[in-house]
Amino acid sequence: MNHLVSPSLLAADILNLGKEVTMVNQSLADWIHLDIMDGVFVPNISFGLPVVEQVSKIAEKPLDVHLMIVDPDRYISRFHDAGAGILTVQYEACTHLQRTVTGIRDLGMKAGVALNPHTPVSLLVNTLPFVDMVLIMTVNPGFGGQSFISDSYHKIRELRRIIDDNGYAVLIEVDGGIDNENAARLIETGVNVLVAGNAIFSSPDPKETIRKLKELD
């Protein structure tokens, strides 16, 4: 049970978002995941700063915020003020990645970098000393409910080897198509944080689903 579970509010009932956050508060989940989409970097629009601010008022777990937006540097301090505890930016959206993640850390947040499925983990070799987490996207970002990309296991193994060989204290997070069928293998492969959306919020008993994900060996 050393791994973390971060339920994704992208799959929650938006009309009852407060109740959904309260459910996560009462569960064994470790974080609350929020996907921020701008309709430019990805072909979808999701939450913005006002939603993060409102969620932070009732959340009892750290907010795990993933920015799928262009030019994320413009918004780093605002997401900090809105309540983000972990802030992840996309590798593909950052021209000066080391400066971006350093800025996130300087504000007191944990800094994460996300990789799209086509982006090799080798491109992060020079950035790993400056981040707290790498998010491997196991679907193409933009929409929930997609099927897990099986080649992701290879990327996770490679990243795990690079992190361990260099002694970095960097977590590996995965997001996209995560459920009880593949979660155990992902943990075995080297994943530290499971993001799950539909598997949790579409289940008959979301808290029980979170418990099962959390208690996997």
Would you say 213 and 196 are in contact if contact means Cβ atoms under 8 Å apart?
yes
Which listed residue (35, 38, 64, 132) is catalytic? 35
What's the token pair of residue 141?
Answer: 């970002």
Q: Is 212 exposed, middle or buried (0-12, 13-18, 19+ CB in 10 A)?
A: middle
Told to judge if 73 belongs to the known catalytic residues of this protein, a careful annotator would answer no
Q: How many CB atoms lie within 10 A of CB 138?
A: 25
Going by C-alpha positions, the residue among 165, 188, 73 that lies closest to residue 174 is 188
143 burial type by CB count under 10 A (0-12 exposed, 13-18 middle, 19+ buried)? middle
Decide if 175 is catalytic.
Answer: yes
C-alpha closest to that of 201 among 18, 51, 24: 24
Q: Alpha-carbon dihedral of residues 65, 57, 9, 33, nearest 10 degrees?
A: 30
- Cα separation, 111 vs 22, in Å, equals 26
The one catalytic residue in 38, 64, 132, 175 is: 175
Catalytic residues: 35, 175
